[in-house]
């Protein structure tokens, strides 16, 4: 069990090291090909595929398993706070009308779509 935790910790450390190195390289060479998040997503999927294909014991997979409660309650609030804190307030309030329109229209489209799909699904599979 301790070996699987060590290998899992090493793989997470390797992912963070790649993330930091990629961020530095993108800023240094002013790469405009893609966003940093898309590169990290591809690297994460590649590392996950490699770890899955090595077919290690289940301990490593349990250690690396995604915990949604940890993400939503611990990781997501600082991300949202940092995004709001670093936002350009003048640009936001200058475009507040457009933001509100997109919010209302997006909410109405989502409500209409989900309602129609629920009604359709209820007619297809009555209970």
pTM: 0.44
Instruction: Record the tokens describing residue 72, joined without a space.
Output: 């939503």
Nearest alpha-carbon partner for 11 in 79, 65, 68:
65
pLDDT digits (tens, 9 = 90+) for 71-126: 888 888 888 888 888 888 888 888 889 989 999 999 999 999 999 999 999 988 87
pLDDT digits (tens, 9 = 90+) for 39-69: 778 887 887 788 778 766 666 666 667 778 8
| Whole-number pLDDT of residue 89 | 81
Instruction: Record the tokens describing residue 42, joined without a space.
Output: 């591809």
């Amino acid at each position: 069990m301790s070996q699987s935790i060590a290998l899992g910790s090493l793989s997470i450390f390797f992912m963070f090291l790649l993330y930091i190195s990629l961020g530095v390289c993108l800023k240094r060479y002013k790469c405009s090909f893609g966003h940093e998040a898309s590169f990290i997503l591809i690297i994460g999927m590649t590392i996950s595929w490699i770890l899955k294909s090595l077919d290690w014991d289940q301990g490593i997979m349990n250690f690396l398993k995604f915990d949604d409660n940890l993400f939503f309650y611990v990781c997501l609030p600082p991300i949202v706070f940092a995004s709001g804190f670093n936002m350009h307030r003048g640009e936001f309030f200058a475009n507040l009308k457009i933001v509100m329109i997109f919010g209302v229209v997006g909410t109405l489209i989502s409500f209409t779509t989900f309602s129609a799909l629920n009604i359709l699904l209820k007619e297809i599979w009555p209970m």
